[in-house]
Amino acid sequence: MNHRFLILAAQAVSLLFSPFYLPVVAFILLLVFSYLHLLPLSYKVLLLAIVYTFTVLLPRLSIYVYRKVNKLTSRQLGHRQNRYVPYLISILSYASLLYVMRRIHMPHFTLGIIVAALAIQVVCALINLRKKVSAHSAAAGGVVGALMGFSIIFVFNPMWALCSAVLLTGAVASARLILRQHTLGEVGLGVLVGVLCGFLSVLCV
């Protein structure tokens, strides 16, 4: 019973904190806690709809079609040799979102989130040429890195948020290990990629 509960909990964490959803969550937090909360509600909803379309709807739908056409199971899609097309789909979707955000003149610090997510996808795709890396762990690590970057830009103490993000990253990495989707080295590498990409992207954009 305990083993079954552990598996279900790991599956729930992997689903809830999928790399696809984290940019949407990041924008929700910005719309609540930054000066963007002053925007009209209709504009906030439209902005979130745009982010959701390019980071969740389009890539997930495209990857689903790819998996069905090639008759791949979810586990088979996780094999290193089958991850190239999903990475390419995600990269194109995130790059398109970045273009749209620049066209509507979004503040630079919001673009940092998209650049960080895009950088994580590109680096993970390049690493995937030689070895497998955990995209879930990279995305979670990206939250940690982005928080550190934003704390420098906006000059605030990120201690509590950072502690929460670190705990989240640990939970996501543990879930991937429990589900036997990755090794300890793969999740560790993913976290390192995410932290560096998140931190540098937010600071440099």
Q: Which residue has the higher pLDDT, 2 or 162?
A: 162
pLDDT at 6: 87
Alpha-carbon distance of 66 to 2, in angstroms, equals 35
The closest alpha carbon to 116, from 145, 85, 96, belongs to 145
Task: Say what the pTM is.
Answer: 0.89
Q: Kindly report, residue by residue over 130-165, the tens digit of the pLDDT.
A: 899 999 999 999 999 999 998 998 888 888 889 999
Identify residue 138 by its one-letter amino acid code: A
pLDDT at 1 over 70: no
DSSP conformational letter for 83: S
